[in-house]
Amino acid sequence: MAIFLNQLGFVPGELKLAHATEGEESFEIRNAWGKAIITGRFSMPRYDEASGCTVATADFTSLEQEGQYTFISGESSASFRVAPNIYNAVGDALYKSFYYFRCGCDLLPEFAGAYAHKACHTEPAVVFGMDTKVDVSGGWHDAGDYGRYPAPGVKAVADLLYAYEMNPLAFSRPVGIPDSSSRIPDVLTEARYELEYLLKMQTAEGSVYHKSTPMRFCGMIMPEEEKEQMVLIPPDTVATADVAAVMAIACRVYEPFDSAFSDRCKQAAFAAYDYLSAHPEAVLPGRNPEGMNTGTYGDSCDKDERAWAAAAMYRLTNETKYLDESERYFAELEEMRASNNVGNSKWMDTMALGWSSMGGYVMMSVVFNSGADSMNPFYQKMRARLIAAADDFLAISKRSAFGVSLSPSDYVWGSNMNVMNNAVVLMLAYKLTGAQQYRDAAVQQWNYLLGDNPTGYCYVTGFGSKQVMHPHHRPSEADGVEAPVPGMVSGGPNAGLHDAVAKEKCIGLAPACCFVDETPSYSTNEVAIYWNSPAVLAWALMF
Q: Is 14 helix (H, G, I), strand (E, B) or coil?
A: coil
Report the pLDDT value the prediction gives residue 342, as an integer from 0 to 100. Answer: 55
Report the pLDDT value the prediction gives residue 383, as an integer from 0 to 100. Answer: 96
Exposure on the CB side of residue 299, measured as CA atoms within 13 A: 28
Candidates 236, 304, 325, 517; catalytic one? 517
Per the CB < 8 A criterion, the answer to whether 310 and 329 are in contact is yes
Report the pLDDT value the prediction gives residue 536, as an integer from 0 to 100. Answer: 98
At 373, the pLDDT band (50, 70, 90 cuts) reads confident
| 526 belongs to the catalytic site | yes
Q: In 209-319, which ranges are continuous DSSP H helix?
A: 237-254, 259-278, 303-317
Candidates 472, 473, 477, 479; catalytic one? 472
At 341, the pLDDT band (50, 70, 90 cuts) reads low
Q: Cβ–Cβ contacts within 10 Å for residue 13, how many?
A: 9
Q: Computed over its alpha carbons, how large is the radius of gyration of the chain?
A: 23
Q: Is 341 helix (H, G, I), strand (E, B) or coil?
A: coil
Q: Cβ–Cβ contacts within 10 Å for residue 119, how many?
A: 14
Residue 349 has pLDDT above 60, yes or no: no
Separation of alpha carbons 355 and 366, rounded Å: 19
Per the CB < 8 A criterion, the answer to whether 483 and 105 are in contact is no
b/e 205-231 (16+ beta carbons within 10 angstroms → b)? ebbbbbbbbbbebbeeebbeebeeebb
Q: Cβ–Cβ contacts within 10 Å for residue 411, how many?
A: 25
Q: In 289-376, which ranges are continuous DSSP H helix?
A: 303-317, 320-338, 345-349, 359-367
Helix axes 529-542, 88-100, angle to 10 degrees: 150
Burial (CB count <10 Å: 0-12, 13-18, 19+), residue 59: middle
Mean pLDDT for 454-468 is 98
Candidates 14, 145, 194, 299; catalytic one? 145
| 440 belongs to the catalytic site | no
Rounded to 10 degrees, what is the CA torsion of 495, 498, 504, 508?
Answer: 20
Strand partners, 55: 46
For the chain, list the domains and their CATH numbers: 107-300 (1.50.10.10)
Residue 141 has pLDDT above 70, yes or no: yes
Q: In angstroms, how far is the first alpha carbon of the chain from the final one?
A: 32
- CA nearest to 70, candidates 23, 33, 124, 97: 33
Nearest-5° Cα angle at 101, 95 to 105: 120
Separation of alpha carbons 471 and 182, rounded Å: 34
Q: What is the phi-psi region of residue 51: left when phi exceeds 0, alpha when psi lies from -120 to 50, beta otherwise?
A: alpha
> What CA–CA distances, in Å, run from 160 to 42, 190, 195, 316?
38, 9, 12, 18
Percent of the chain at pLDDT > 70 equals 98
Digit-coded pLDDT (tens) for 31-53: 999 999 999 999 999 999 999 99
- CA nearest to 351, candidates 327, 386, 378: 386
Residue 345 has pLDDT above 70, yes or no: no
At 334, the pLDDT band (50, 70, 90 cuts) reads confident
At 22, the pLDDT band (50, 70, 90 cuts) reads confident
Per the CB < 8 A criterion, the answer to whether 103 and 212 are in contact is no
Digit-coded pLDDT (tens) for 396-431: 999 999 999 999 999 999 999 999 999 999 999 999
